[in-house]
Amino acid sequence: MTAIQISSAFDSGNIQVLSIEGDEARLAIRPDRESSFFQWFHFRVSGGSGRTLVLRITGLNGSAYPMGWSGYRACVSEDRQYWGRAETSWDERAEGGTLTIRYTPTSDIAWFAYFAPYSMERHHDLVARIASTPGFDYRCLGATLDGQPIDCLESGEGPVQVWLYARQHPGESMAEWWMEGALAMLADPANSTARELRSRCRLHLIPNLNPDGSARGHLRTNAAGVNLNREWENPTAERSPEVLALRNAMDESGVDFAMDIHGDEAIPAVFLAGFEGIPSLKPQQSEGFRSFAQILERRTPDFQTALGYPITPAGKGNLAMSTNQLAERFVARGCVSMTLEMPFKDHNPAADAHQAWSPERSAQLGRDCLGALLEWLEAGSADSRTTST
């Protein structure tokens, strides 16, 4: 029997082939360049039509988040449009931790990934489409270490400065699917929520802050092996030009509301992380974060507040992380910033047996978050009127 063929020599591809025998393969994930982080995989298998593939990814006890493999199912697609989930099992005792994927493709090529990829070609299509939409402005904030543009799309005439940015961690591709949904809604001239947001806000959206890591198939770092979400206190042109460019742009406009879009490897739910530990925390900031979370939880079953990260003790917030840095940096404006986390597994409170968490749900959550933002702004305006009377 002819052996299957496996390749990852493409945009965001990542896998090392250790051995192939017939329908079975032993594989390993390549770490981020100049870094020990690894978890993202993306590869294609050809020659497997009608054959039950057994793909073993080994050495995963040393991955960035080994606790994320239990209960996880790999993403698979045969047309690169619809991404379902393959039968997947985890054994921490086998070959340093082994994830075994079993799948029988109906066509001769199948793609497997940690999450549905968001390619750089799709990114450029998205930027071109939105930049040519009436009411939108395009702005290049700077360039990455590999020379790629840092794209920013802006819209709205209102005084509230809203910054939404995604893929500081490039392997968290659900973040750019979220952006696609949010931008499609904002660009829809018939959408009343979008019209009202544009009248109240100046919205700045960065669909992909780490295009170098995305193209290279990294999990968490840029071309220099730097975790961008640990650079916000002192970014440099040599290590983290992406953060330096974005933070400089934020300093020019100020920030009233910010959301950093991410994915979480281990927690099977959508949740928010805040800035409770910053040194200059104001009560109105805490209340603003709490009220936004409540609104979003009421608006969609794809969000919850029971699961999430531990609350950081007072004064212990890491100002090198964007959410903390922005809340502290713009505390005089009452800035409310937050990190939105989506799962690589599924949102268990409203699980989907076929796709688990998916590109489609990520995009819908982008729309839901914008709806929650408008309601939050309206509630804040009502509170202000009540307080002033």
Q: Which of 87, 287, 341, 378 is catalytic?
A: 341
CA 133/CA 146 separation, integer angstroms: 28
Query: Of 191, 321, 227, which Cα lies nearest the Cα of 32?
Result: 227
Q: And the tokens for 95?
A: 């070959």
Among 274, 269, 260, 358, smallest CA distance to 310 is for 274
CA distance 73 to 114: 9
CA dihedral 269, 273, 276, 278 (to 10 degrees): 160
Listed in sequence order, the residues at least 6 apart from 8 whose beta carbon sits closer than 8 Å to its beta carbon are: 14, 15, 41, 42, 43, 44, 217
Amino acid at 60: L
Does the annotation mark 341 as catalytic?
yes
Contact by Cβ (8 Å): 41, 16: no
Write out the two tokens for 317: 């917030």
Assigned token pair, 205: 């959206």
SS3 per residue for 189-210: CCCHHHHHHHHHEEEEEECCCC
Segments in 161-315 forming alpha helices (H): 174-186, 192-200, 211-216, 241-253, 283-299
Active centre residues (catalytic): 341
